[in-house]
């Protein structure tokens, strides 16, 4: 027979496992990179406290996606472990962006890419263009592209 103390210990362990799993799914930072004219070729990058960077490519269900559940057809999904310095650089850039810039309406742009940065409870959205983006957004996208475990192809349409 299992004693009361054993049941309490088991309950605490299960709660800790569940809490860690929820934090892992949530991530420290999420970056969605997606084309305005189609739901295909959508990228979701999730940076976790463990310094893991997960890259996901697929077809999104909507423009406000921020979870793997919002991707209906996952084509690629991989993770890598970032160095502490790389992790810090990415988080710092995201924090500067969401604290200092206002989102722009991206619905009127066609044949362009949108960037959605989710840091904590703050969200920043912009149409990605060399002419329109703040320098910090360009730097963040370049850093994410270079460190991503999957290739991120931000291309033009002819």
Measure the CA–CA gap between 154 and 141, rounded to whole angstroms: 10
Residue 76 near residue 56 (C-beta atoms within 8 A): yes
Contacts of 107 (CB under 8 A, 6+ apart): 36
Measure the CA–CA gap between 21 and 15, rounded to whole angstroms: 10
Measure the CA–CA gap between 7 and 138, rounded to whole angstroms: 52
Q: What is the set of domains in the chain, with CATH numbers? A: 26-147 (3.30.1560)
pLDDT tens profile 96-113: 999 988 887 655 556 788
pLDDT tens profile 120-157: 889 999 888 766 788 999 999 999 999 999 999 998 76
Q: pTM for the full model?
A: 0.80
Residue 46 near residue 66 (C-beta atoms within 8 A): no
């Amino acid at each position: 027979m299992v004693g009361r103390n054993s049941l309490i210990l088991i309950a605490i362990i299960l709660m800790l496992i569940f809490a860690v799993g929820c934090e892992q799914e949530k991530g420290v930072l999420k970056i969605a990179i997606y084309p305005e004219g189609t739901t295909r070729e959508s990228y979701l990058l999730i940076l976790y406290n463990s310094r893991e960077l997960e890259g996901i490519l697929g077809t999104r269900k909507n423009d406000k996606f921020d979870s793997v559940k919002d991707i209906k057809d996952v084509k690629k999904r991989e993770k890598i472990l970032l160095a502490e310095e790389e992790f810090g650089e990415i988080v710092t850039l995201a924090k500067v962006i969401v604290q200092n810039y206002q989102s722009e309406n991206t619905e009127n742009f066609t044949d362009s890419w949108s960037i959605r940065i989710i840091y904590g409870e703050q969200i920043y959205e912009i149409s990605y263009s060399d002419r329109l983006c703040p320098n910090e957004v360009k730097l963040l996208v370049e850093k994410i592209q270079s460190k991503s475990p999957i290739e991120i192809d931000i291309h033009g349409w002819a």
